[in-house]
Amino acid sequence: MENNSIAVGLDIGTTKIVAMIGRKNEYGKLEILGVGKSKSLGVHRGVVNNITQTIQSIQQAVQGAESDSDFKISEVVVGIAGQHIRSLQHSDYITRTNADEVIDDGDIDLLINQVYKLVMLPGEEIIHVLPQEYKVDGQAEIKEPIGMYGGRLEANFHVVVGQVSSIRNIGRCVKSSGLDLAGITLEPLASANAVLSQEEKEAGVALIDIGGGTTDLAIFKDGIIRHTAVIPFGGNVITEDIKEGCSIIEKQAELLKIKFGSAWPGENKDNEIVSIPGLRGREPKEITLKNLSKIIHARVVEIIEQAYLEIKNYGHEEQKKKLIAGIVLTGGGSQLNHLKQLVEYITGMDTRIGYPNEHLAGDSDPDMASPLYATAVGLVMNAIENQSKVIIEEEVVEAPTETTSAAETAIEENEEQTNTSAPIQSEPRRERKSIFEKWADKLKDFLDNAE
C-alpha cells in the first residue's frame, strides 16, 4: 500500500470474511475507506478446513474492499480464533547483572523473550505474551517498572497458545491470496479494542463476542487483560438446532433466527405463527414463534453458561477480582432479540451490547457500527497501532538532539548508513517489535519452504 497510514484488517470468520481498509483522521478517529465482505467457505469453528475455498473467499473480500476504496491491498493484519486457542498464567523472572542501573525496555524484552521460550505441548505455539503486573526486588503490584532500580525483575504473564498447524494454515491462505501477513492478533483482543472503553477495562469487564462458529471471551481488570477463552459454539449451532427442530433447510432457519428469533420464550404468544414455503410444491410449514424461541433459548443458555463458567474460573466472585462493569456482548450473535435480558438473568451482571462506533469517525457508514464488524474494526486499529510504533521508533532513531553539533550529527548519520550502531535509547524499542517480527519471519520462511 502506497500510504503508510493506511491499514487493513482481515477477519476470517466462520460465516463471513471481512477485509476492512482504514486510517486515522486528524481527530484520532478511525476512518473506514473500504469494506469487502464474502461468505466464508472452508472455515469451521474458526479453523480452516478447506484451503482452496478459504483462499477464494479471502480474494473475494479483498477485491470488494479494493473496489470500494480504490486502494490496492498488499498486507493485512489477521485475526485468529478457534477451539484450539487456550490461555495460561505464567510467572517468570530475570536477575539483572547491574542493579545500580535503572530498568529499561531491554530488561522487559529479555523477560518477555524468556517466556516465548517456554516449552509447550507438541504442535502448539505461543501467539501472545501479555505482561500483567511486575515485581521489582519483591515489591509487588508495579504496572510500569521502567526507570526503577532493582536486581530481580519478576512478572506475571497471560500467555495465549494456539496450534501451529492452524496458525500456518491461515498464513498459507493469506499468502496464497497474494497478500503479506503484517501481523496476527487474537480476535477477542481485537474486538475488545473496538468496543470497550478504558474505564470499563479499569473497573473490570468481560467481553463476550458471539460469532458464527465460536464465542470468544476476554476479561479485563485494572486495565490489564486477565483471561481469554474460545468457546466452540456460536450462532451457527443455533441455526443448526432450528433446522433440525423445525425440519427446514439451513437458509430458512437462518432467516427465521434473524427475523423472528428471540432468546426469551415468554415474549411470544402461543398463537403467533410464521409460515414457511414448502420445497418443490410441498405444503408450506407453519412454525409457532414460541416453539422457535424455545429452541433458540436452550442453545443460547448453554453458550452463556459456558462463558459464565470461564468468568467464574477467572475468579469474578472474589471481592478483589469483581467485574464492576459487567458484561459487554458483541459479534453477529449479540443482535438476537432479548439476549441482553437473558444474560443479565443468568449471570446477575450488568450487560450492554458493544458497538464499535466510539472509535469511528463521525461520517462513517452506520452499518460499520454494527457488532458484526467489531473484530474487523479492532484489527484495523491494531494494524494502525503497530504502524505508528514503527514510525515512532524510526523517528527516535533519526532525530538528533538539539545540542548535537553538526559534526556529531554527520558521524551519527554515517553510523546509521553503515548500520554499526544507533542511539542507545531506541535499541530496546526496536527489540520489542522484533519479538513478533521473528515469529512472523519464522512463519513466512515456513510458508516459503512449503511451496
Model pLDDT for residues 180-207, shown as the tens digit of each residue: 998 888 899 999 999 999 999 999 999 9
pLDDT for position 46: 85
More confident residue, 413 or 82: 82
Which cell numbers in the block locate residue 53? Answer: 475455498
Residues 107 and 134: their CA atoms lie apart, in Å, by 12
Per-residue confidence band for 410, with pLDDT thresholds at 50, 70 and 90: very low
Residue tagged 480474494 (cell numbers): 59
Cβ partners under 8 Å of residue 419, min gap 6: none
Residues 230 and 186: their CA atoms lie apart, in Å, by 10
Per DSSP, the three-state class of 288 is strand
Which cell numbers in the block locate residue 262? Answer: 428471540
- Helix axis angle, 374-398 to 187-195, nearest 10°: 90
Which cell numbers in the block locate residue 97? Answer: 547483572
> What 3 state SS string does 54-96 have?
HHHHHHHHHHHHHHHHCCCCCEEEEEECCCCCEEEEEEEEEEC
Per-residue confidence band for 265, with pLDDT thresholds at 50, 70 and 90: confident
* pLDDT digit string, tens, across residues 367-407: 888 999 999 999 999 899 877 666 555 555 554 444 444 44
Per DSSP, the three-state class of 151 is coil
Which cell numbers in the block locate residue 431? Answer: 527489540
Per DSSP, the three-state class of 192 is helix
Residue tagged 494456539 (cell numbers): 162
Evaluate if residue 165 carries a pLDDT over 80. yes
Q: Are 282 and 269 in contact (CB under 8 A)?
A: no
Residues 292 and 273: their CA atoms lie apart, in Å, by 10
* pLDDT digit string, tens, across residues 125-153: 999 999 989 999 999 889 899 999 999 99
pLDDT for position 389: 63
Q: Are strands 75-80 and 7-12 parallel, antiparallel or unpaired?
A: parallel
Dmax (CA) of the chain: 90
Per-residue confidence band for 432, with pLDDT thresholds at 50, 70 and 90: very low
Residues 326 and 308: their CA atoms lie apart, in Å, by 11
Residues 397 and 53: their CA atoms lie apart, in Å, by 44
pLDDT for position 413: 45
Residue tagged 462458529 (cell numbers): 213
Side-chain half-sphere exposure of 258, counting CA atoms within 13 A: 10
Count other C-beta atoms under 10 Å from residue 406's C-beta: 8
Cβ partners under 8 Å of residue 450, min gap 6: 168, 172
Per DSSP, the three-state class of 158 is strand
Which cell numbers in the block locate residue 352? Answer: 450492554
Q: What percent of the chain has pLDDT over 90?
A: 57
CA-CA-CA-CA torsion sign (123, 12, 211, 242): negative
Residues 162 and 183: their CA atoms lie apart, in Å, by 15
pLDDT for position 444: 61
Helix (H) or strand (E) holding 20: strand 16-24
Residue tagged 469474578 (cell numbers): 316
What residues form DSSP beta bridges with 228? 218
Count other C-beta atoms under 10 Å from residue 322's C-beta: 13
Q: Are 209 and 215 in contact (CB under 8 A)?
A: yes
pLDDT for position 448: 61
Evaluate if residue 337 carries a pLDDT over 60. yes
Side-chain half-sphere exposure of 58, counting CA atoms within 13 A: 33
Read off the pLDDT of each residue in 77-100 and give the average, rounded to a whole number. Answer: 90
pLDDT for position 435: 46
Q: Are 96 and 146 in contact (CB under 8 A)?
A: no
Nearest to 156 by CA among 137, 142, 175, 170: 142
Read off the pLDDT of each residue in 76-84 and give the average, rounded to a whole number. Answer: 89
What's the DSSP call for residue 317?
T
Which cell numbers in the block locate residue 412? Answer: 551519527
* pLDDT digit string, tens, across residues 33-57: 999 999 998 898 888 999 999 999 9
Predicted TM-score of the model (pTM): 0.83
Q: How many helices (H) and strands (E) does the chain have?
A: 12, 18
More confident residue, 241 or 318: 241
Residues 374 and 94: their CA atoms lie apart, in Å, by 38
Evaluate if residue 438 carries a pLDDT over 60. no
Q: How much is the mean pLDDT over the chain? A: 85
CA-CA-CA-CA torsion sign (169, 173, 178, 182): negative
Read off the pLDDT of each residue in 246-256 and give the average, rounded to a whole number. Answer: 91
* Among 40-54, 75-89, 424-438, the least confident range: 424-438
Read off the pLDDT of each residue in 279-308 and give the average, rounded to a whole number. Answer: 91
